[in-house]
Amino acid sequence: MPTAIIADDEPLLRMELADALENLWPELRIIEHADNGAKALRYIEEYQPDIAFLDIRMPSLDGLEVADQVREKCQVVFVTAYDEHAVTAFEQGAIDYVLKPIKMARLAATVSRLRQRLSEKPASDETSSNEPLQWVRASSGNSLRFFPVQDIVYFRSDGKYTKIVTSDDQALIREPLRSLGQTLDSKIFWRINRGIIVNLSHISHVTRDDEGKMTVHLQGEATSLPVSKNHQSQFRGM
């Protein structure tokens, strides 16, 4: 399923584009909306979408600056009210340049072009989208916080949510541990029981008691985490 982000500082225009794309390309999944260029760049780095729909004039970074940094990472389509930047946009590798107000026939041509381009992606591009997660996004009240994955000590299942724990903070993310675990680097993050995935770089030592129960002890933490029997074998030989 192809994925995309939409970046525009006007909420109504973002929704208008999203609705139009839903009608023209039901299979396309819009995974994030950004109201400025810095967020757009962050989302592209984090989620690695197939397509980025970018406005030109946005706060923090404009669409051209974003495109210049992601030209090798995704297909870029500019959706803007300003026609004077078209030459620069295509020089930066944009696949299309759509003027506002959006016309469905014009957007349909863009969708057709995108479908064709994505169908031509080499296998190496497909594998690159499977790179491990680098950032975790968590909501906290009215703010959105970003945690570098390497700073997370462990993930703990909390129903439909997952709790992330760092050395000095905690937060909930709206994703179950099962699906989150599939996006993590398995060389660094190990599942130690049904409900916990731990960052190996934050482990101090592992102990086993007389009954054979194994426990992970964390660096600088009083917290210890139990290792289930099904996952003890991965620690042997360490």
All structural domains of the chain: 3-128 (3.40.50.2300), 135-235 (2.40.50.1020)
Q: Which of 13, 55, 57, 51 is CA-nearest to residue 32? A: 51
pLDDT digits (tens, 9 = 90+) for 70-97: 988 899 999 999 888 888 888 778 999 9
Q: Across-strand partners of 62?
A: none
107 CB neighbour count, 10 Å cutoff: 21
pLDDT digits (tens, 9 = 90+) for 90-136: 877 899 999 999 999 999 999 999 999 898 765 444 444 467 788 88
Mean pLDDT, the chain, as a whole number?
88
Residue 54 has pLDDT above 70, yes or no: yes
pLDDT at res. 130: 60
Q: Are strands 51-54 and 75-80 parallel, antiparallel or unpaired?
A: parallel
Please give the share of the chain, as a percent, with pLDDT higher than 70. Answer: 92
Q: Is 48 left (phi over 0), alpha (psi -120 to 50) or beta?
A: left
Q: Using 50, 70 and 90 to split pLDDT, how confident is the model at 56? A: very high
**Is the CB of residue 98 less than 8 Å from the CB of residue 85?**
no
- Number of C-alpha atoms within 13 angstroms, CB side, residue 96? 19
